[in-house]
Amino acid sequence: TVRGILATKGRDVVTISPNRTLADAALVLSERGLGALVVVGSPDEVIGILSERDIVRSVAARGPGALGETVGQNMTADVVTTVESATVQTVMAQMTDGRFRHVPVLDGGKLAGIVSIGDVVKYRLAEMESEQQALREYIATA
Ligand code: AMP
């Protein structure tokens, strides 16, 4: 489940306000080594998501001047989210269907974490390894 991933990676989410500029967002993404920022209105109220792709798309379309535009003008407002009880399988399907790599986690409508495609791959690898180990032990003792 999503809860299992958050238990390992933690529940901290780097957020940004919609009135900051894309230049500000690029700096945060670069400094924190992230691919996306959750855009919040009042604390923990998710109003959008801004990924590195949105910045690249805007600069490609309108040139470096786009870096002066606001996060609010360039974010995706229709955010697909999940909850802690959801299965990792469901989140993988959301990412594949929507072609994005980040899914914020909500708890009672409030931001409670984020799962990236990297987190999902890490979790699946660990799961596959422990499955393999269990099979090996089963064969050895059969
Ligand atoms: P990503 O692959 O996460 O870097 O994002 C690719 C595109 O999808 C960008 O335009 C993002 O704003 C958008 N996006 C990212 N995550 C989500 C999400 N959970 N729900 C909706 N759109 C998203």
pTM (2 decimals)? 0.91
Distance 141 CA to ligand 1 centre (A): 47
Distance 97 CA to ligand 1 centre (A): 11
Residue 142 banded pLDDT, cuts 50, 70, 90: confident
The whole-chain average pLDDT of the chain stands at 96
d(CA 131, CA 129): 5
The finding on whether 13 has its CB within 6 A of some atom of ligand 1 is: no
- C-alpha distance from residue 105 to each of 26, 56, 64, 67 (Å): 23, 25, 32, 28
What pLDDT, in 10s, does the model give residues 121-132?
999 998 899 889
